[in-house]
């Protein structure tokens, strides 16, 4: 099937005004002058430029250069992943763009051209309403970063990775690159070479951050690569919820987003990490996310992928201490021209650890979803439990869904449970809903929302409303 | 005046012609029972009028309030006032009855108009009480895991909430136990007794339903058209004699 022509799209937008603002409220761009620009393409000089601009210590430059070598040496993982990866042209990407390295503490200080963007995305408003802190990254650097005073007074650190390195090296270096080593995969190596931005969070022992901390990642420039690096440490008994959102304007050329996110939950700590990914459909989103849960700690990833051209992301938890718990709740929506290759990894490394994976994917039109899961429980452990549930919903016969669950459980003192289902939104179901007065688009989005209903309920209120809105837009846009 | 005019309607599925010249006019408040042997095209008629994509109208017209509905999408027909109580209602996992009906009610409102949630729930609960449906059902997913009888009651609940101009009821009585049959019939009768009662096309196999919902007309459908019309006594006659005599008469007439 041919992609719709511009006229067809415009006509569809006429008939369905909502389709016009699809992809979604993020599709706009203001002109910005960048003071710092590493140019196009990637070599040692690019890496040196980034490190110099950031005034980094020699060990970090060394770390980056080694990572670059690892990146160049590693082959593309196309022996198991999609060939579409070969369409990324690393020589045509811009690896660092910023107006400066120091984020502003108030929105008033943020330069107008950048502030307009975040205001249009509603970030300052959300911050006032329900957040404990916000970091707003624009291309390579955070333009704004602030934490509510009451939270800062509890000793909570929330800043970007550059500041984290500079101001809290003793904590940063201890955990940085330990959960996800440089050579974990080709893209973690790339990130390690050129990373910039991302959040650094430290929550002191026993501190429970009442409201979520949020980061918003915005790509503004064409042919750009965003490589943020996030490190979150919850000290013993601490609790924190972190949410991230992301958008980019739709360009005709492809954009790369390749983040590395490391979480450390020390004894009895709880980290919840929520993502609502809504990149434009030209973004390659290749992200490595993993957490280590120590004794009785809990890490929960809520990972929601709606946008991008190709997403490859398998949030993981290493269950390192006794009675640690890990959970991945994954929702993926693949519309025409998209491939959501998502999943979860649970590495059990201590007795009585439990993990839970619930993955739901929706494939529409030519959209493709893939679930990949790894659950590993070695033989010497006892009392470990895993529950995996993968459900796929297909919205027309062209949609494709694949499931690759790899569950290695050795020994007989552990238990696993695995369920998978594939269902379809049938013509009869859509007709039934239309007969009650709903348009085809409304009917589909109701079906999809019904399908993920039990998962969406686990989101904080504001995010589940946002999720529903995004799904409505996607589904409305996918008919006609 | 809301009336439905079905004019010389011909319907096929693929190459196969099913309904062949169906004529009927339903005036507001009237109940027309349609009976007929299995496979004669009753459900086809109802679904095609509602705009089901599987069926092709090859001739004739369907007019609601004098306007043809045939060019309209199914949802537009529904919002114009056509309601179909399905013989086999679909399940919608994860979507509660309350949310579903709310979306349907909202779809009938002008753009920008907000649904009054309190008023909506009041109305919903009143209709549920009338149909003796437990309040717990509002949070259950539409038809998901419902018993046959529960599904049928849920259809009538939707009909009561959406207040159509014309209701096509396809074997709403099948699968109902004796008590449920009476409750559903009472529900329909109360809809009939309301200020602006809809015209009803009632497809059924059993005379028993017609003891509760007394029809103004009874039609026998055979081979894709109405072959005989009468009043309530026709249903009793069919009950006593079966369809053979109708078939014979039809064969003689078309021979
Ligand atoms: N989607 C379809 N595809 C193919 N044939 C169909 C389809 N729907 C109906 N038919 C056929 O059309 C004919 C009429 O079916 P229909 O369901 O309208 O009959 P009915 O009068 O409602 O029967 P019943 O009393 O058993 O409900 C039957 O022969 C049936 O097999
Ligand atoms: Mg039938």
CA of B229 to the centre of ligand 2 (A): 19
Is residue B172 classed as helix, strand or coil in its secondary structure?
A: coil
A395 within domain boundaries: no
Closest residue by Cα to atom 19, ligand 1, is B39
Among the partner residues B78, B90, B94, nearest to A437 by beta-carbon distance? B78
Taking CB atoms and an 8 Å limit, are A436 and B93 in contact across chains?
Answer: no
Tokens at B215, concatenated:
């029809």
The answer on A171 and A307 residing in a single domain is yes
Q: How far apart are CA B75 and CA A433, in angstroms?
A: 8
Which backbone phi and psi does B74 adopt, to 5 degrees? -55, -40
Taking CB atoms and an 8 Å limit, are B51 and A437 in contact across chains?
Answer: no
For tokens 């003891």, what's the residue?
Answer: B211
A263 within domain boundaries: yes
Which is nearest to B61 in space by CA: B76, B46, B71? B71
CA A216-A221-A224 angle, 5° bins: 90
Closest residue by Cα to atom 13, ligand 1, is B39
Supply the DSSP symbol for B141.
Answer: B
**ipTM confidence:** 0.96
Domains within chain B, CATH numbers bracketed: 4-92+164-254 (3.40.50.300)
Tokens at A457, concatenated:
């309920």
Residue ending a domain, choose from A288, A313, A338? A313
Domain count, chain A: 2
What's the sign of the alpha-carbon dihedral A54, A89, A315, A130?
A: positive
The answer on A456 and A308 residing in a single domain is no
Tokens at A369, concatenated:
């979803």
- Minimal C-alpha gap between A330 and chain B (Å): 17
Q: Which residue segment(s) compose the domain that A32 sits in?
A: 6-313
Are β-strands A36-37 and A97-98 bridged in parallel, bridged antiparallel, or unpaired? Answer: antiparallel
Helix (H) or strand (E) holding B149: helix B148-162
Residue ending a domain, choose from A280, A313, A346? A313
Helix (H) or strand (E) holding B105: helix B97-107
Among the partner residues B73, B75, B92, nearest to A447 by beta-carbon distance? B92
So what's the pLDDT on residue A398?
A: 63
- Residues in chain B whose Cβ is within 8 Å of chain A: 50-54, 73-75, 78-79, 83-84, 86, 89-95, 99-101, 103-104, 107-108, 141, 158, 162
A25 within domain boundaries: yes
Residue count of chain B: 255
Residue ending a domain, choose from A248, A280, A313? A313
The answer on A127 and A270 residing in a single domain is yes
Q: How far apart are CA A192 and CA A142, in angstroms?
A: 18
Q: How far apart are CA B243 and CA B241, in angstroms?
A: 7
> pLDDT tens track of chain A, all 480 residues?
444 434 343 333 333 322 222 335 677 787 778 889 999 999 999 999 999 999 999 999 999 999 999 999 999 999 999 999 999 999 999 999 998 888 999 999 998 888 888 888 888 888 888 888 899 999 999 989 999 888 999 999 999 999 999 999 999 999 999 999 999 999 999 999 999 999 999 999 999 999 999 999 999 888 999 999 999 999 999 999 999 988 888 777 889 999 999 999 999 999 999 998 888 889 999 999 999 999 999 999 999 999 899 999 999 999 999 999 999 999 999 988 899 999 999 999 999 999 999 999 999 888 999 999 999 999 999 999 999 999 999 987 666 778 887 877 887 888 988 898 888 888 999 999 999 999 998 999 899 999 998 898 887 777 777 788 888 877 876 664
What is the SS3 string spanning chain A?
A: CCCCCHHHHHHHHHHCHHHHCCCCCCCCCCCCCCCEECCECCCHHHHHHHHHHCCCCHHHHHHHHHHHHHHHHCCCCCCCCCHHHHHCCHHHCECCEECCCCCECCHHHCCHHHHHHHHHCCHHHHHHHHCCEEEEEECCEEEEEEECHHHHCCCCEEEEHHHHHHHCHHHHHHHCCCCCCHHHCHHHHHHHHHCCCCEEEEECCCCECCCCEEEEEECCCCCEEECCEEEEEECCCCEEEEEEEEECCCCCCCEEECCEEEEEECCCCEEEEEEEECCCCCEEEEEEEEEEECCCCEEEEEEEECCCCEEEECCEEEECCCCCEEEEEEEEEECCCCEEEEEEEEEECCCCCEEEEEEEEEECCCCEEEEEEEEEECCCCCCCEEEEEEEEEECCCCCEEEEEEEEEECCCCCEEEEEEEEEECCHHHHHHHHHCCCCHHHHHHHHHHHHHHHHHCCCCHHHHHHHHHHHHHHHHHCCC
8 A C-beta contact, residue B104 and residue B142: no
Q: What is the Cα A153 distance to its own chain's centre? A: 29
Helix (H) or strand (E) holding B107: helix B97-107
Q: How far apart are CA A258 and CA A53, in angstroms?
A: 20
Q: How far apart are CA A122 and CA A143, in angstroms?
A: 15
So what's the pLDDT on residue B169?
A: 97
Is residue B146 classed as helix, strand or coil in its secondary structure?
A: coil
Q: How many other C-beta atoms are found inside a 10 Å radius of the C-beta of residue B29?
A: 15
Burial pattern A145-180, b for ≥16 Cβ within 10 A else e, equals bbbbeebeeeebbbbbbbbbbeebeebbeebbbebb
A403 within domain boundaries: no
A330 within domain boundaries: no
Q: Supply the Cα-derived Rg of chain B in whole angstroms.
A: 18
CA of B238 to the centre of ligand 1 (A): 21
Which is nearest to A303 in space by CA: A273, A258, A339? A273
Q: How many other C-beta atoms are found inside a 10 Å radius of the C-beta of residue A64?
A: 21
The answer on A307 and A437 residing in a single domain is no
Q: Supply the Cα-derived Rg of chain A in whole angstroms.
A: 22
Tokens at B32, concatenated:
């027309």
Q: How far apart are CA B170 and CA B86, in angstroms?
A: 6
CA A320-A321-A325 angle, 5° bins: 85
Among the partner residues B73, B84, B94, nearest to A453 by beta-carbon distance? B94
Among the partner residues A426, A431, A450, nearest to B94 by beta-carbon distance? A450
8 A C-beta contact, residue A37 and residue A123: no
Tokens at A39, concatenated:
């140019």
Q: How many other C-beta atoms are found inside a 10 Å radius of the C-beta of residue A5?
A: 9
Is residue B156 classed as helix, strand or coil in its secondary structure?
A: helix
Q: Which whole number is the average pLDDT over B102-122?
A: 90
- Give the ligand 1 atom nearest the CA of B171: 27
Q: How far apart are CA A74 and CA A187, in angstroms?
A: 9
A334 within domain boundaries: no
A401 within domain boundaries: no
Taking CB atoms and an 8 Å limit, are A436 and B107 in contact across chains?
Answer: yes
Tokens at A41, concatenated:
């393409």
8 A C-beta contact, residue A303 and residue A276: no
- Minimal C-alpha gap between B245 and chain A (Å): 36
- Residue A439: its chain B contacts at CB < 8 A? 73, 75, 107
A125 within domain boundaries: yes
B242 pLDDT above the threshold of 50: yes
Please tell me the pTM assigned to this model.
Answer: 0.85
User: Which residues, 6+ apart, have CB-to-CB distance to A297 below 8 Å?
Assistant: A234, A265, A266, A267, A268, A269, A270, A271, A321, A324, A325
Compare all CA atoms of chain B with the CA of A438 and give the residue at the minimum distance: B75
| Exposure of B237 in the CB half-sphere (CA atoms within 13 A) | 13
Which backbone phi and psi does A459 adopt, to 5 degrees? -75, 155
User: Which residues, 6+ apart, have CB-to-CB distance to A85 below 8 Å?
Assistant: A76, A77, A78, A284, A286, A310
Tokens at B243, concatenated:
């369809």
**Chains A–B, number of C-beta pairs less than 8 Å apart:** 80
Q: What is the Cα A468 distance to its own chain's centre? A: 18
Q: What's the N-to-C CA distance of chain B in angstroms?
A: 40
8 A C-beta contact, residue A372 and residue A404: yes
């Amino acid at each position: 099937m041919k992609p719709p022509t511009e006229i067809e799209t415009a006509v569809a937008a006429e008939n369905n005004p909502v389709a016009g603002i699809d992809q979604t409220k993020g599709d706009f761009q203001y002109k910005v002058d960048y003071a710092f620009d590493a140019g196009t393409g990637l070599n040692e000089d690019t890496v040196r430029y980034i490190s110099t601009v950031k005034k980094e210590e020699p060990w970090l430059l060394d770390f980056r250069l080694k990572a670059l070598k690892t990146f160049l040496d590693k082959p593309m993982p196309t022996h198991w992943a999609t060939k579409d990866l070969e369409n990324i042209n690393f020589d045509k990407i811009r690896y660092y763009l910023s107006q400066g390295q120091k984020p502003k503490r108030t929105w008033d200080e943020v330069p107008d051209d950048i502030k307009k963007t975040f205001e249009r995305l509603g970030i300052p408003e959300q911050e006032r309403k329900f957040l404990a802190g916000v970091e707003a990254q624009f291309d390579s650097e955070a333009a704004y970063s602030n934490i509510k005073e009451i939270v800062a007074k509890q000793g909570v650190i929330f800043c970007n990775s550059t500041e984290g390195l500079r101001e809290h090296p003793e904590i940063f270096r201890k955990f940085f690159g330990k959960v996800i080593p440089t050579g974990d995969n080709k893209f973690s190596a790339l990130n390690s070479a050129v990373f910039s931005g991302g959040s650094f969070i430290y929550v002191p022992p026993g501190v429970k951050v009442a409201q979520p901390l949020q980061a918003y990642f915005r790509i503004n420039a064409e042919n750009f690569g965003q490589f943020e690096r996030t490190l979150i440490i919850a000290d013993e008994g601490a609790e924190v919820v972190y949410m991230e959102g992301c958008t980019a304007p739709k360009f005709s050329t492809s954009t790369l987003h390749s983040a590395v996110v490391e979480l450390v939950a020390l004894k009895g700590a709880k980290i919840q990490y929520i993502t609502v990914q809504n990149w434009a459909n030209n973004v390659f989103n290749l992200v490595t996310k993993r957490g280590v849960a120590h004794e009785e700690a809990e890490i929960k990833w809520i990972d929601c992928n709606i946008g991008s051209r190709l997403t490859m992301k398998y949030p993981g938890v290493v269950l390192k201490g006794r009675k640690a718990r890990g959970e991945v709740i994954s929702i993926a929506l693949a519309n025409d021209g998209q491939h959501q290759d998502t999943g979860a990894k649970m590495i059990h490394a201590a007795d009585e650890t439990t993990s839970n994976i619930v993955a739901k994917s929706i494939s529409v039109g030519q959209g493709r979803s893939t679930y990949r899961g790894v659950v590993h429980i070695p033989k010497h452990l006892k009392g470990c439990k895993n529950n995996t549930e993968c459900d796929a919903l297909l919205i027309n016969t062209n949609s494709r869904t694949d499931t690759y669950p790899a569950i290695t459980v050795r020994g007989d003192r552990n238990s696993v449970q695995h369920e998978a289902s594939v269902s379809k939104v049938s013509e009869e179901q859509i007709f039934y809903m239309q007969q009650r007065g709903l348009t085809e688009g409304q009917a589909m989005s109701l079906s999809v929302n019904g399908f993920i209903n039990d998962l969406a309920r686990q989101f904080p209120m504001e995010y589940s409303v946002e999720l529903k809105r995004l799904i409505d837009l996607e589904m409305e846009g996918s008919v006609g | 005046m809301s009336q439905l005019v079905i004019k010389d309607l011909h319907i096929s599925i693929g190459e196969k012609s099913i309904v062949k010249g169906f004529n009927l006019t339903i005036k507001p408040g009237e109940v027309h029972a349609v009976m007929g042997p299995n496979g004669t095209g009753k459900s086809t008629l109802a679904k095609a009028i509602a705009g089901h994509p599987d069926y092709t109208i090859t001739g004739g017209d369907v007019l609601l309030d004098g306007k043809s509905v045939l060019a309209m999408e199914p949802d537009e027909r529904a919002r114009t006032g056509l309601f179909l109580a399905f013989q086999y209602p679909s399940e919608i996992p994860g979507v509660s009855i309350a949310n579903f009906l709310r979306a349907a009610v909202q779809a009938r409102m002008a753009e920008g108009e907000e649904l009054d949630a309190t008023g909506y729930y009041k109305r919903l609960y009143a209709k549920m009480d009338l149909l003796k449906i437990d309040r717990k059902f509002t949070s259950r997913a539409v038809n998901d895991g419902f018993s046959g009888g529960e599904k049928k009651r849920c259809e009538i609940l939707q009909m009561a909430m959406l207040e159509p101009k014309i209701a096509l009821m396809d074997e709403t009585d099948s699968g109902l136990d004796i008590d449920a049959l009476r409750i559903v019939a009472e529900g329909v009768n109360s809809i009939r007794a309301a200020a602006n009662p809809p015209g009803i096309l009632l497809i059924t196999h059993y005379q028993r339903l017609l003891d509760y919902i007394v029809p103004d007309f009874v039609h026998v459908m055979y081979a894709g058209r109405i072959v005989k019309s009468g009043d309530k006594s026709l249903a009793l006659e069919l009950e006593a004699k079966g369809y053979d005599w109708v078939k014979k008469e039809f064969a003689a007439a078309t021979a």
